[in-house]
């Protein structure tokens, strides 16, 4: 029987505070004691962060040092803030994608997703809102809770919820074994070995990871993917745009805030919304526009889910090619060796030497050769090469993703100390946590499940 642990004020919370699809700027708001330390871990800026001063810098994923977005961030020290706590606001300028990624990072670094109305609630509890507003606060909490409850329900109907229940049932199986081994030492039951326990944990961990792997897919299908097409002038960028536009059905719906200028086109490739960002022409002029162009190229490059670099196969690599190839490290990228009809001055090997993680396709775009392969690659990127669209169960809610990640972490921790043969009661703490986390997704936190299962499966007692 687990108590429902409900936190009041000690945790740091975060959420996107601008409504989706409104304006070109998205703000992530963080509130609570960890706000500033979380910002420090993911924010790269010149100089120090000073309270109430807007600071320019980059959001960096500390795990692989990749740049997520260029942002303005502000830290406001408690108590004179909206919530009365330390607050950080990150103004993301990029796409929905980078906004989501930044939020994901904030959650990974220790914040948790804010509950409906929680910022307002904290504001009131910390004396930042007037007494006369109390009833209004209650209404906000209730309305938001009802709305999110309904949204969660409709979202959780169906395959994802079934899958989470299935995984949770597998965790329950393990918990039942540990519980019966711990609470009934003298009974005539099979002793749980570390090997058996580990096998169970690894299976569960793998299942959760599989689900998590769909989070990117879910997001990409919902929000589309951004493909930046880069390369030196006249290498075939426009040809590629044209080929993809011609072959694919152009889509009219656009997510507001993602179209930055006229060189972006939205197409549907194999039912996936794809935003093609052509950086063509950027370096071709020497005038004032160039500076803006470079900024945009950088931005397009940083925010893309996939970078397509086109290289002229008939000529040796230029300095510019080399420069871009170096930047492909840690990015999902596709290198097209174009104009293969004109010669082989550059071979796939040359590219692989410089950017080992890039996929390479030889094309002749003028003759529309290689387009199918490009579309294959885009599809593979979205579905991770594993899922097909028909049977896909996808996580497309940041909150669910966050909880699954924590559940996975707990299972990993349990597996790690099972390997080192730590005591069973210690291991069980992590297994319990995973079980409780999975329950959070489907809204089941208080339960006698374990004890009920113990008695239904085992014959126990004096």
End-to-end CA distance of the chain: 22
- Contact status, residue 48 vs residue 58, Cβ threshold 8 Å: no
User: Per-residue x/- mask for other proteins, residues 100 to 119, rule CB under 8 A?
Assistant: ---------------x-x--
* Residue 385: φ, ψ to 5°: 70, 0
Report helix, strand or coil for 373: helix
Q: Select the residue interacting with other proteins from 27, 60, 184, 369 (CB under 8 A).
A: 184
Give, in degrees to the nearest 5, the angle at Cα 164 between 389 and 28.
80
User: Per-residue x/- mask for other proteins, residues 381 to 420, rule CB under 8 A?
Assistant: ----------------------------------------
Task: Compute the distance between CA of residue 203 and CA of residue 198 in angstroms, rounded to an integer.
Answer: 9
- Contact status, residue 274 vs residue 268, Cβ threshold 8 Å: yes
Give, in degrees to the nearest 5, the angle at Cα 228 between 226 and 232.
175
User: Per-residue x/- mask for other proteins, residues 4 to 43, rule CB under 8 A?
Assistant: xxxxxxxx--------------------------------
- CB of residue 137 vs other proteins: minimum separation in angstroms? 6
77 binds other proteins (CB under 8 A): no
- CB of residue 237 vs other proteins: minimum separation in angstroms? 52
DSSP string, 198-258: HHHHHHHHHHHHHHHHHHHHHHHHHH-EEEEEE-STTSSHHHHHHHHHHHSEE-----TT-
Number of shown-chain residues binding other proteins (CB under 8 A)? 52
Report the site for other proteins in 420-459 (rule: CB under 8 A).
Answer: 421-426, 429, 446, 450-451, 454-455, 459
Please identify, using beta-carbon distances, which residue of 206 and 425 lies nearer to other proteins: 425
Report the site for other proteins in 139-168 (rule: CB under 8 A).
Answer: 139, 141-142, 145-146
Going edge to edge, which strands form the sheet with 249-250?
249-250, 264-269, 272-278, 225-230, 306-312, 333-338, 359-362
- Contact status, residue 335 vs residue 351, Cβ threshold 8 Å: yes
Segment interacting with other proteins, rule: CB under 8 A, options 24-32, 36-44, 153-161, 175-183: 175-183
Q: Select the residue interacting with other proteins from 63, 64, 131, 193 (CB under 8 A).
A: 131
- Name the site residues for other proteins (rule: CB under 8 A): 1-11, 115, 117, 121, 124-125, 127, 131, 134-135, 137-139, 141-142, 145-146, 179, 181-188, 421-426, 429, 446, 450-451, 454-455, 459-462
């Amino acid at each position: 029987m687990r108590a429902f642990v409900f936190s009041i004020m000690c945790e740091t919370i975060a959420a996107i505070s601008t409504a989706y699809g409104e304006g070109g700027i998205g703000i992530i708001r963080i509130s609570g004691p960890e706000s500033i330390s979380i910002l420090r871990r993911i924010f790269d800026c010149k100089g120090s962060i000073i309270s109430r001063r807007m600071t320019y810098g980059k959001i960096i994923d500390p795990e692989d040092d990749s740049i997520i977005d260029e942002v303005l961030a502000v830290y406001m020290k408690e108590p004179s803030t909206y919530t009365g706590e330390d607050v950080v606001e990150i103004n993301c300028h990029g796409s929905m994608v980078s906004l989501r990624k930044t939020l994901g990072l904030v959650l990974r670094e220790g914040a948790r997703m804010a509950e409906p109305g929680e910022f307002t609630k904290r504001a009131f509890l910390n004396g930042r809102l007037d007494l006369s507003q109390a009833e209004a606060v209650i209404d906000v909490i209730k309305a938001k809770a009802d709305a999110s409850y309904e949204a969660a329900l409709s979202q959780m109907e169906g395959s994802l919820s079934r899958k989470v229940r299935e995984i949770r049932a597998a965790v329950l199986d393990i918990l039942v074994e540990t519980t019966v081994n711990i609470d009934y030492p003298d009974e005539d039951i099979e002793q749980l070995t570390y090997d058996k326990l580990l096998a169970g944990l690894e299976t569960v961990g793998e299942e959760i990871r599989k689900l998590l792997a769909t989070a990117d897919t879910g997001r990409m299908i919902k929000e589309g993917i951004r493909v930046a097409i880069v390369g030196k002038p006249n290498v075939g960028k426009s040809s590629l745009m044209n080929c993809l536009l011609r072959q694919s059905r152009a889509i009219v719906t656009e997510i507001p805030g993602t179209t930055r200028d006229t060189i972006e086109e939205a197409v549907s490739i194999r039912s996936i919304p794809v935003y093609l960002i052509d950086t063509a022409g950027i370096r071709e002029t020497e005038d004032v526009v160039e500076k803006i162009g470079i900024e945009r190229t950088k931005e397009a490059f940083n925010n893309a889910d996939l970078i397509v670099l086109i290289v002229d196969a008939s000529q040796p690599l230029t300095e510019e090619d080399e420069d871009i190839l170096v930047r492909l490290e840690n990015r999902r990228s596709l290198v097209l060796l174009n104009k293969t009809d004109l010669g082989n001055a550059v071979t796939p090997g040359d590219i692989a030497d410089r950017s080992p993680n890039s996929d390479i396709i030889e094309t002749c775009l003028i003759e529309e050769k290689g387009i199918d392969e490009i579309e294959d690659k885009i599809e593979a990127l979205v579905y991770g090469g594993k899922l097909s669209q028909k049977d896909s169960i996808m996580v497309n809610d940041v909150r669910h993703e966050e909880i699954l990640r924590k559940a996975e972490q707990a299972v990993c921790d349990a597996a790690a100390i099972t390997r080192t043969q730590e005591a069973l009661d210690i291991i069980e703490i992590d297994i319990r946590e995973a079980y409780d986390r999975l329950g959070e997704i489907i809204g089941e936190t208080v339960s006698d499940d374990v004890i009920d299962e113990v008695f239904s499966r085992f014959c126990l007692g004096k």
